[in-house]
């Protein structure tokens, strides 16, 4: 289908577009870029907390898609496969950068499900007071979350992926995903409360 117009590409599903792109249709790739670029940048930004990094990582993800388009199999959902690529790239980037300085008690034990994770990123109350908007405060709270909780919360509550999709993207069991999401929310609530309380006291 080389002679298709832009509107025709917009009607097509993600899976159809990637199949077209696999048959060397670059317009299908461009359509996929248009559909996913904002979502991807938003996801990476919420995960990393850096605008520049989110742009670069999003471009890297699209490049990976361009390079390894033949690896996509029709069985899986395109969004799941694409988020998996993005998450893996972001994980490796974060681990390289060493931005996430955490001290996890659970690292002393082999059982991952033990809920002893504490964040090392300490948000000073004055910082929260100086924060301009509510969004920035929430973003700082997200950044202070443990990486395990952060990725699932971002995927669930910001990107609106369902549990099964998140399980596939993170390659975790569904139960683990659910528990992590709940614990992440609990942690986030505590952080936000701790951020708001001193402000109220002041």
Chain residues in the site for other proteins (CB under 8 A): 30, 33-34, 37-42, 45-46, 51, 54-55, 58-59, 62-63, 66-67, 134-135, 138-139, 142, 153, 157-158, 178, 181-182, 185-186, 188-189, 192
Q: Which is nearer to other proteins, 38 or 74 (CB)?
A: 38
- For other proteins, which is the closer residue by CB, 59 or 106? 59
Sequence-separated contacts (24+) of 28-34 with Cβ below 8 Å: 29/65, 29/66, 29/69, 31/6, 32/65, 32/78, 33/62
Shortest separation between residue 75's beta carbon and other proteins, angstroms:
27
Q: How far is the CB of 118 from other proteins (least distance, A)?
A: 19
Find the shortest distance in angstroms from Cβ 135 to other proteins. Answer: 5
**In the complex, minimum distance from the CB of residue 1 to other proteins, in angstroms, rounded to a whole number:** 21
**CB-nearer residue toward other proteins: 21 or 74:** 21
CB 101, CB 119: distance < 8 Å: no
Nearer Cβ to other proteins (94/153): 153
């Amino acid at each position: 289908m080389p002679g298709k117009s832009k509107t025709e590409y917009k009607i097509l599903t993600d899976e159809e577009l990637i199949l077209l792109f696999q048959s060397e249709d670059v317009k299908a790739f461009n359509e996929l870029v248009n559909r996913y670029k904002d979502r991807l940048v938003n996801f990476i930004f919420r995960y990393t907390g850096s605008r520049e990094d989110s742009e670069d990582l999003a471009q890297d993800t699209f490049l990976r898609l361009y390079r390894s388009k033949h690896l996509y199999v029709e069985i899986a959902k395109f969004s799941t496969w694409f988020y998996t690529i993005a998450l893996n790239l972001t994980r490796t980037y974060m681990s390289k950068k060493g931005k996430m300085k955490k001290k996890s008690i659970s690292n002393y034990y082999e059982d991952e499900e033990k809920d002893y994770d504490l964040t090392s990123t300490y948000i000073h109350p004055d910082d929260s007071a100086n924060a301009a908007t509510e969004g920035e405060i929430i973003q700082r709270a997200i950044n202070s979350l443990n990486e395990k909780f952060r990725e699932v919360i971002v995927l669930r509550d910001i990107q609106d992926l369902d549990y099964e999709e998140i399980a596939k993207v993170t390659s975790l069991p569904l139960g683990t995903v659910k528990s992590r999401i709940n614990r992440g929310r609990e942690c986030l609530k505590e952080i936000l409360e701790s951020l708001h309380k001193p402000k109220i006291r002041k």
